[in-house]
Structure formats: structure tokens, C-alpha cells
């Protein structure tokens, strides 16, 4: 039996259980390969917006069981709500055993403060009157991912490289997407510096990254855990170091790509 990798903290987000685009099987394999002291699910774990599609394969249930196994072992699990599971915000601060439902979390690790939240509260495209449009976009994105998988199966059988239709579409509207991401990140970073946090950790935009940002008021490390629909990434903290974990899109458990921050 392969020995599990010991981690102080693992953060993953944007799993979107209940959608065709969710790579739950790959996530399950990853989660069963690690032994964390603290688990943080940073939003959009359950895609409640998509529950009407009645799509829930066995690997999605297995993902729930893995998390419950951690709780049973006494491992703290923080489930931070996102926009696709915002219906759960009515139950914020609910706690049972070592499982907590939160809107945000401030965590101190090795003398450094970490502000952890999904990030949708700073995204104007998913709130207020734009909510219905965001839901429509989410459903369309899910069907696009499903179609993309079908196309990639054909390409692989033909001996050709996989393609990402969602990336192509994003690139075609690059300026609009870039502005949205920059606005979201700028607000989150500014608020973190204003409150003297050492780190700000988000999900939401499905863009894994680690970078230090400075302005006239100070600096902060900005981290994003990515997603389990396209990038298949997670944030790992061990021995005082944050690293990005990548599980590649060829659906094989390959070497770990680590970006040190």
C-alpha cells in the first residue's frame, strides 16, 4: 500500500459536485493519497445550482464519504460556501463534530494570518440582478465541458492531442474575462492588505496561482486553489510552505508539479 503524503493543510475548491464537468474520480484519487491535519473546501463543492439536472454518479457520493471519513477521524474540515452553494449560507457557522460550515475563515499558520474565502462576494457578475445570468452561464459551461470530453475521446482515439473548448472561448473574449478577474483579485488583495493579513486565499475564478502583490499600503501573498473541472489543482501547506498541486488533464495520476511561493 502506497504511503500517504502528510500535509498540514489542504485547500481545494470549485469541485462542482453534481455537474458533468466535475472530475470527482480524479479528486478522490488525490484525496486518498494525502493525510492532512486540516481540510478546507473553499466553495462550490456542491453545485446546488445544477441539482435540477439530476446528475449524480457514484464517484460524487464517494467524494462525500472521503470528507466524512476525515470528520470521523477527528480531522477539522471547514466547508466555506461559494456562489454555486450559496443556499447553504443560511446555515453559516453550523458545526457538527469537526465539520464547520463557514462563509470565511481566518487561520493562523506559523505566525502568519490567512484570510480564506471563496471570492464571489467581490464578483459583480454573480450577484444581484446578474445572478440569473450567472446561473445560465454555469449550466451552459457544464454542457460545454461534457461536449469537450466527447470530442477529446475522439481525438485521443485518433492519436491527437486533447483540446480545451472552454479555454478557446475564454481566449476569444480575453479582454472581458481579464478585466473581471483583475477586478475580483484587486478588491480581494486590497481588502487583505487593509486588514494586515499575510495571505489571502480564494477560489471562484478557476485560476490556480500564487503571487506576492504590493501597493502603497503594503503587501500580501495572493493564492488561488483553482478548480476540479479544468485545472485539477489544490493548495498544500507543509513545513511552513504553500505549494500548488496539479493533477493533469490526461486523466492519469502523473508527477506532482509544484510551484513554490
Q: Report whether pLDDT(26) > 90.
A: yes
Mean predicted confidence (pLDDT) in 7-31: 95
Asked if residue 145 is part of any domain, the answer here is: yes
| Residue 205: closest CA among 237, 183, 235 | 183
Cβ–Cβ < 8 Å for 217, 194: yes
The pLDDT assigned to 67 comes to: 98
Asked if residue 252 is part of any domain, the answer here is: no
Percentage of the residues of the chain whose pLDDT score is greater than 70: 75
Asked if residue 45 is part of any domain, the answer here is: yes
Structural domain range at position 66: 5-246
Asked if residue 261 is part of any domain, the answer here is: no
Kindly report, residue by residue over 148-198, the tens digit of the pLDDT.
766 677 777 777 776 665 556 555 444 444 445 557 788 899 999 999 999
CA distance 227 to 23: 9
Kindly report, residue by residue over 78-88, the tens digit of the pLDDT.
999 999 999 99
Who contacts 116 (Cβ-Cβ below 8 Å, separation ≥6)? 11, 40, 42, 78, 80, 104, 105, 106, 107, 200, 201, 202
Phi, psi of 6 (to 5 degrees): -80, 130
Asked if residue 62 is part of any domain, the answer here is: yes
Asked if residue 258 is part of any domain, the answer here is: no
Domain of residue 190, CATH code: 3.60.21.10
Task: Report how many domains make up the chain.
Answer: 1
Asked if residue 253 is part of any domain, the answer here is: no
Q: What's the pTM value of the predicted model, to 2 decimals?
A: 0.79
Kindly report, residue by residue over 97-155, the tens digit of the pLDDT.
999 999 999 999 999 999 999 998 886 555 444 443 344 445 556 666 666 766 677 77
Q: How confident is the model at residue 14 (pLDDT cuts 50, 70, 90)?
A: very high
Who contacts 35 (Cβ-Cβ below 8 Å, separation ≥6)? 4, 5, 6, 7
Asked if residue 128 is part of any domain, the answer here is: yes
Amino acid at each position: 500500500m502506497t504511503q500517504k503524503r502528510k500535509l498540514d493543510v489542504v485547500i481545494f475548491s470549485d469541485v462542482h459536485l453534481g455537474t458533468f464537468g466535475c472530475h470527482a474520480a480524479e479528486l478522490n484519487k488525490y484525496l486518498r493519497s494525502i493525510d492532512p491535519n486540516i481540510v478546507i473546501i473553499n466553495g462550490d463543492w456542491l453545485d446546488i445550482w445544477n441539482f435540477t439536472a439530476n446528475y449524480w454518479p457514484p464517484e460524487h457520493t464517494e467524494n462525500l464519504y472521503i470528507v466524512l471519513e476525515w470528520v470521523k477521524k477527528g480531522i477539522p474540515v471547514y466547508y466555506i460556501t461559494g456562489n454555486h452553494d450559496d443556499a447553504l449560507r443560511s446555515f453559516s457557522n453550523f458545526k457538527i463534530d469537526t465539520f464547520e460550515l463557514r462563509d470565511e475563515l481566518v487561520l493562523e499558520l506559523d505566525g502568519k494570518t490567512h484570510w480564506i474565502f471563496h471570492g464571489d462576494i467581490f464578483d459583480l457578475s454573480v450577484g444581484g440582478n446578474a445572478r440569473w445570468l450567472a446561473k445560465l452561464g454555469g449550466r451552459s459551461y457544464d454542457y460545454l465541458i461534457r461536449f469537450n470530453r466527447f470530442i477529446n475521446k475522439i481525438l485521443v482515439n485518433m492519436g491527437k492531442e486533447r483540446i480545451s473548448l472552454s479555454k478557446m472561448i475564454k481566449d476569444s473574449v480575453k479582454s472581458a474575462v481579464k478585466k473581471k478577474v483583475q477586478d475580483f483579485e484587486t478588491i480581494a488583495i486590497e481588502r487583505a492588505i487593509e486588514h494586515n493579513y499575510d495571505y489571502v486565499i480564494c477560489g471562484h475564478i478557476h485560476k490556480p496561482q500564487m503571487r506576492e502583490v504590493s501597493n502603497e499600503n503594503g503587501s500580501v501573498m495572493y493564492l488561488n486553489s483553482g478548480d476540479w473541472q479544468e485545472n485539477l489543482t489544490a493548495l498544500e501547506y507543509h513545513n511552513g510552505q504553500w505549494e500548488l498541486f496539479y493533477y493533469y488533464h490526461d486523466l492519469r495520476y502523473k508527477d506532482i508539479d509544484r510551484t513554490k511561493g
